[in-house]
Amino acid sequence: MTSSAGAPSVAPELAPDGDASSPPRRRRSSAWFLLLPGALWLVAFFLTPMVQLVATSLYDPSGSEETGYAMTWAWGNYVDALDFYLEPFVRGFAYSAIATALCLVIGYPLAYAIAFKAGRWKNLMLVLVIAPFFTSFLVRTLAWKLILSDNGFVVGIAKTLGLIADDGRLLATGFAVVAGLTYNFLPFMVLPLYVSLEKIDHRLIEAAGDLYSSPAQGFRKVTLPLSMPGVVAGTLLTFIPSAGDFINAQLLGDTTTQMIGNVIESRFEVGDYPAAAALSVTLMVLIVAMVAIYIRRAGTEELL
């Protein structure tokens, strides 16, 4: 069979049942089948608990574990959550923001050194970055409790240098909580930064030098902009879990340094499920809103 121009035309290859679109349909069906396990996992362990959490936040707050809770659509639980626990919310976000900034300041030079200067020591340095993950989060935090104890060497050195008063302390302060958050979540900052820096073509940096830019100008105009996806990913991976953390504030702080995670945990412990659920939902909504604004301001909407 030939076309009007004289060139032979090729008929579409038919499936055994004569339907030319059968193979694409099979591929689409296979793709949906492969997505099914992940979708079921998300429905069972994310969507269902999320719906239950939102429903619990609307229970009658006057109920109890003994008498039971009734669904009364008590939207006032959210008002009470912000009214009674605004200070832990603000403190938690402040501690998380400070810890994230410290992780960025510490982690960027480290990731830069691993990506550009480590040479044959690169793999070893990466292993050292993730080595803390080989130990329990709780054990690492308890180690910081010993390091910052009143009789520890850190406090002794600080007193000798006059950095704190003779009767001063570091444990059970905001400093200790931020230090614990910074240490525990530092690898979450370093690894995305390293991946982003590793992808940069070194010829671009050399080209900046050929165009008579100083090393500082080359970093500011080439390296830093190209590493922004890593900066954004690292700050998100650090800020989000630290905002909901309660272990560091519980072990390294006191009642004056409680974060919102501590309040949520205490409400669940005493059986005040509506308040705990309302605080949890409020925390999630605030974090999602802050993340969306941050990503759009950073100019990396493709990360959404």
pLDDT by position in tens, the chain (length 304): 444 445 455 454 544 544 555 566 777 777 788 888 899 999 999 999 999 999 999 998 887 666 678 888 989 999 988 899 999 999 999 999 999 999 999 999 999 999 999 888 999 999 999 999 899 999 999 999 999 998 888 999 999 998 888 888 999 999 999 999 999 999 999 999 999 999 999 899 889 888 888 889 989 999 999 999 999 999 999 999 999 999 999 999 998 999 999 999 999 998 889 999 999 999 999 999 999 999 888 866 554 4
Classify each residue of 244-256 as buried b or exposed e, where b means 16 or more C-beta atoms within 10 Å of its C-beta: bbbbbbbbbbeee
- 144 domain residue, yes or no: yes
Structural domain boundaries, residue 132: 86-269
- 190 domain residue, yes or no: yes
- 58 domain residue, yes or no: no
User: What does the block give as tokens for 93?
Assistant: 């976000």
Cβ neighbours of residue 260 under 8 Å, at least 6 residues apart?
Answer: 85, 88, 89, 91, 92, 243, 244, 279, 283
- 95 domain residue, yes or no: yes
Give the global pTM.
0.83
Say how far apart CA 196 and CA 116 lie, in whole Å. Answer: 12
Handedness of CA 95, 100, 105, 111 (dihedral sign): positive
Domain count, the chain: 1
- 113 domain residue, yes or no: yes
The pLDDT of residue 8: 52
- 149 domain residue, yes or no: yes
The pLDDT of residue 1: 46
- 302 domain residue, yes or no: no
Cβ neighbours of residue 293 under 8 Å, at least 6 residues apart?
Answer: none
The pLDDT of residue 30: 79
- 213 domain residue, yes or no: yes
The pLDDT of residue 152: 87
Q: Read off the CATH number of the domain in which 118 is found.
A: 1.10.3720.10
